Structure 1
Amino acid sequence: MTRLLFPTRLFEFDLGDTSLLDELDASCWMIEEGDSAGHEWCEEKGYPGYTSYASLDDLPKRAPAFAELEAQLLKLAKKAADELGWDLEGRRITLDALWINILGEGGHHSGHIHPGSILSGTLYIAVPEGAGAIRFEDPRLANMMAAPPLRDETAEDQSRFVYVDPKPGNVLMWESWLRHEVMASRSEDARISISFNFGLSG
C-alpha cells in the first residue's frame, strides 16, 4: 500500500463573468495611466512593465469592478480554507492586498513567496499567446539533498516544478508559503493580471 502524505493544494476557479473581466480590464488601464508613483517605483526597481503593488492599496475604492472582485475572491478564499481544514477560531479571512500586474515582452516575476499572508493568488485578465506560464516549486525541494533526478515522464504530483498556463478568467489560489514565479513572456501584447493576499483578522 502507498499512502500520499502532505499534499500541496492549488485551487483553480473560473470567474465566469465576462462583463466583470471587461470592466476590470478597463479599470486596470485607467489606474495604470494615472499612477505616476507606481511608474516611478517600477522604473526605480527595474520592473518589466507596470504594477500597483508598491503604490496603491485601495483598488476596491477606486473602481466598482475591484469592489465586486473583492467580494467574489472572499467567497473563493472561504471555499479554499474549508477544503484545507482550517480552524479559524472565530477569526475572519480578510483581503489584505490587491494589485495590478501588466507585463510586456520579456516581463517576468522571479521566484518568491508571500510572507505574512495565509492565501495568495492571481486572477488573469489578458493572457496573450506566448505569455509566461506560472511555475510552482515543490516546497520540499531544499530538503531533498541527494534525491536522484526524475524521469521525463514523471506524473505531475511527483514533479519538482509544475507549470500552469492560465486563461482569461482563471483564478489560481494557493497557500502563501508556496514558492512560485512567472516565466518570461514572449508576446508583445500585455499580460494583465490582478494578484491578491489574504490574512486573518479578529
Structure 2
Amino acid sequence: MSLRTLFVTQVYEASLAGEKNFEDFNAELEDACRMLADEDLAGQAWCREHGYGGYTSYASLDDLPMRASIFEDLKRKLDKHAAAYAKALRLDLGRRRLRLDSLWVNILKPGASHSGHIHPHSVLSGTVYVATPKGASALKLEDPRLAMMMAAPPREADAPEEVRNFVYLQPQPGTIFMWESWLRHEVTPNAARKERVSVSFNYAWR
C-alpha cells in the first residue's frame, strides 16, 4: 500500500527575531501601532460600529508605509518573504509580480477575537506579530475541504497536524505567518491580560 499526499496547503512561517537590531525594530513598530490606535479617529469609530474588540486600521488607513518609516522598513522585509513563499509555491507570475496591496494594524484586547474569514482579491495574506503576551491568541487555520466533508467522522485526537481539520499556530514576537488568501482562518479569543499587537497584510498579483 502507498499513500500520495496531494493538493497540499502550504503555510509559510519565518521570524524576524533573529535579525540584527530586532528588539529596537520591534519596539519602534509597536510604538507606531499604538500611536495609530490613539490618533486614528476614523478607525476607532469603525471598531466601535463593528464590535471589534480593540483597534484595527483595516478600514481607515491604507498608506501605512508612507505614514511612518518603520512600516516602510517592514514592507521591505515582507516583500522578501512573500517572494520566497511564491517561489516555494511554484507560482507562475509571468511578467507581473506580487505587490503589497494592503497593510494594517491589529490591537486585540483581552477576551477579544476575530471570526473566521478569507481575504478575497488577494494571492497571499499573512500577519507579523509584534506583542504576544502570555495567553495571547493563536491563529486558527481551517482545512479548506471542511465544508465538503458532509459525512466524515472526526479525526483522532492525536492525529498529526497535516490531517487535522483545524490547526492552531502560536506566534511569538517577530513571527511571520503567511498563507494563500483563500485559506479560511480566525483569531481565537485573547486569553492574555494584555493586548496582542500584530500587523496583517495582503499581496496582489499585478
TM-score (norm 2): 0.96
Letter in 2 for 1:9: Q
State the 1:148 CA deviation: 1.4
Letter in 1 for 2:9: T
State the 1:193 CA deviation: 0.2
Which of 154, 167, 175 is the aligned partner of 2:172?
A: 167
Q: Distance in 2 between matches of 1:107 and 1:178?
A: 22
In the alignment, what sits opposite 1:27? 32
- Provide the aligned C-alpha RMSD in A: 0.8
1:102 aligned to 2:102? no
In the alignment, what sits opposite 2:9? 8
Which of 47, 50, 73 is the aligned partner of 1:45?
A: 50
Which of 124, 127, 136 is the aligned partner of 2:129?
A: 124
Secondary structure at the counterpart of residue 61 of structure 1: helix
Secondary structure at the counterpart of residue 6 of structure 2: coil
In the alignment, what sits opposite 2:94? 89
Residue by residue over 1:11-64, the C-alpha shift from the partner in whole angstroms, topping out at 9 and shown as x without a partner, is 001012222111101111111111011001101111110000000000001111
Q: Distance in 2 between matches of 1:187 and 1:79?
A: 32
Letter in 2 for 1:10: V
State the 1:195 CA deviation: 0.2
Q: Distance in 1 between matches of 2:155 and 2:75?
A: 40
Q: Distance in 1 between matches of 2:152 and 2:41?
A: 48
Q: Distance in 2 between matches of 1:83 and 1:187?
A: 34
Uncovered stretches (5+) of structure 1, i.e. residues with no partner: none
Secondary structure at the counterpart of residue 44 of structure 2: helix
Which 4+ residue blocks in structure 1 deviate beyond 6 angstroms? Answer: none
Secondary structure at the counterpart of residue 124 of structure 1: strand
Q: Distance in 1 between matches of 2:71 and 2:192?
A: 26
TM-score (norm 1): 0.98
Which of 187, 190, 201 is the aligned partner of 2:192?
A: 187
Secondary structure at the counterpart of residue 147 of structure 2: helix
1:112 aligned to 2:117? yes
State the 1:150 CA deviation: 1.3
Letter in 2 for 1:167: Q
Q: Distance in 2 between matches of 1:62 and 1:71?
A: 15
In the alignment, what sits opposite 1:198? 203
How many residues align structurally? 201
